[in-house]
Chain A
Amino acid sequence: MPAQLSDTLTTPAAALRREGFLGQAQRFSRDPLGMLGLILVTLIILAAIFADILAPYGPAAIDVKARLAAPTFEHPLGTDQLGRDVLSRVLYGGRIALEVALVCISVSLGLGLVLGMLAGYGPRWLDNALILIFDAVRSFPVIMFALAVVTLVGPSLETIELIIIVTSIPGYARIVRTQTLSLKNNEFILAERSLGAGIWRVLSVHIMPNVIGPLLILASMDVPVVVTIEAGLSFLGLGVRPPTPSWGSILNDGYAFIRNTPWLVIAGGVPLILTTLGFTFLGEALRDIFDPKLRKG
């Protein structure tokens, strides 16, 4: 493979800035994985929103005579051990997954933004204290932390959401803090402050727009993580309470009856796989377009 000794082209970054939104949308459409991700995500969101209409049965409708059935025309994904239609449960399970993602990510993003700006912009001791707390929270393997909390408080969906929020905040806060720190002593900030601009103005008008981009990309990459944690904990029986359907709880049932039928495990796993893949592909494509520097791989 011959080596390159010269390169007379201009950098792609400058070219990107000259594009507008339309240009970026065009570039996105040329990324096959990104498009696939977009399609998957759209389908999943639509399926969750229209679960009422799409589901042939209610998620808790019991029909013991048809228990553990393989897929048939009446039950396209089969039934579980109580005779409930798995397809319906999967569709409603999507709602749980996306609701958890929406709630947790928006709350932790918001709180992370505030805390990050506080740490970056505030006094040194506050920064040090916050960093220490962030690092300590991040030092727990998330599942372990979740198990500790659940032991004390008892399992429920709200507990899971709380755990996810608490463990997600440091990630967002760190990014915000780094950006804030680097911008804090930037010349235009100093100029603004010398003109009498207050803290809120500096933070909201100058620092926040620079921080939002990477934050949103991180958030979209976070969705599969959050969905996985919820599903994982529900799989352990420590998340949603029955009869609420969650993909994790379907997997739990599937695991218990794995020698009777493989279909429960398959049905619970496939939507999880599609969701995580879809959001990951989408997030990666977005990151490639908006901030290739974030790419670590």
Chain B
Amino acid sequence: MDSVLSLRNLTVDFDTPRGMVHALRDVSMDVPRGKVVGIVGESGCGKSTLIGAAMGLLANNAVVRGGRALFEGTDVLTMSATDLRAIRGRRIAMVFQDPMTSLNPVLSIAQLMTDIQYRDRATSAEQKRARAIDMLRQVGIPDPEQRIDHYPFQFSGGMRQRIAIAMALLMNPSLLIADEPTTALDVTLEAQIIALLRELHGKFHTSILFVSHNLGLIAELCDEVVVMYAGEVVEQGPVRALFHDARHPYTRALLECDPARIAQSTRQLPTIPGEVPNLIHLPAGCVFRPRCSKAFDPCGRNAPNPRPVAEGHATRCYLLGDD
């Protein structure tokens, strides 16, 4: 199976004044070509670091301890800056979380969308503009010929996110990374954006890496899901399998806590007791053990390796049997 993005045993630390933050530990996952893969997890689980690694946009104090981040076969982490720049925006594109601050406020949309086509020296300015207008139309911006000359502040949040998606898909990338693209939008806009992503995915067959903390969206949009907790992938598999047959206690807890899935009306919302662990001083053994209701003896000794549940479905949990 041809993977657009392939992370293999990726381990990343951040060197901070307070100590070494172990942000990603032995993370392996794939984005198969033409599929939509979702990453779900709480704040601090390592989603942002993972995306940063995929694009070669890690902070200065990041230390890659091991593993590889292969984009279409080449390791992004060992690429030169020039090569990285060549693929960013062209073969990998990204849509960010906050549409209100992601666009340069003093350039018009036309200027922004022409700038990112700078690599196309053969195309004329008019052609670039036309291509931009066409893309804007495809994402549902009304009257794009006029509005392309407007500035970002003249658009609403939902519109700006559509523009961001248009910009990302303009160069027809192999992989689109969407980092919580609807978190800052209200529910109706959220639904529209998700529908838009689905439609564009159908049209362009772009592989999508969709990051969110919202299980409902993941269920709607994604083919496969990767569940992350405190820097590790605790479970991954096809979306149906995960939602109907989740094996990791954390995944099950997440599903139970999703307000959309609560059958009986209740005054108390379920939560997962305990706190996210300190990424500088990690507990021994399984990282979820302090909060796991099913923890038993082997959980405290060593962190479990991923073990298969079914075809394409794996989880890191001793409940599936010994190593």
Contact = CB atoms under 8 A, between A and B. Distances in A.
B16 A6 contact: no
Nearest to A9: B16
B10 to A, nearest CB: 15
Interface string A65-108: 00000000000000000000000000000000000000000000
B279 interface: yes
**Which one of A1, A2, A5, A9 has the highest number of Cβ atoms from chain B below 10 Å of its Cβ?**
A5
A9 B57 contact: no
B67 interface: no
B58 A2 contact: yes
A8 B21 contact: yes
Interface in B15-72: 16-18, 21, 23, 44, 48-49, 51-52, 56-60, 62
Question: What band does the interface of chain A fall in when counting residues whose beta carbon is under 8 Å from B?
Answer: under 10
A6 B49 contact: yes
Contacts of A1: 60
Contacts of A8: 14, 16, 21, 23, 44, 279
A5 B60 CA distance: 11
A2 B12 CA distance: 15
Contact of A9 (B18, B23, B48): B18
B44 A2 contact: no
Contact of A5 (B21, B44, B49, B279): B49
Contacts of B23: 6, 8
Nearest to B58: A2
Interface string A1-43: 1111111110000000000000000000000000000000000
A4 B58 CA distance: 6
A5 B16 contact: no
B302 to A, nearest CB: 26
A2 B51 contact: no
Contacts of A4: 59-60
Contacts of B51: 5
The 7 A-B pairs of least Cβ separation, nearest first, read A6-B48, A4-B59, A5-B52, A5-B48, A3-B57, A2-B57, A2-B58
Interface of A: 1-9
14 contacts: A2-B56, A2-B57, A2-B58, A3-B59, A4-B60, A5-B48, A5-B58, A6-B23, A6-B48, A6-B52, A7-B59, A8-B16, A8-B21, A8-B279
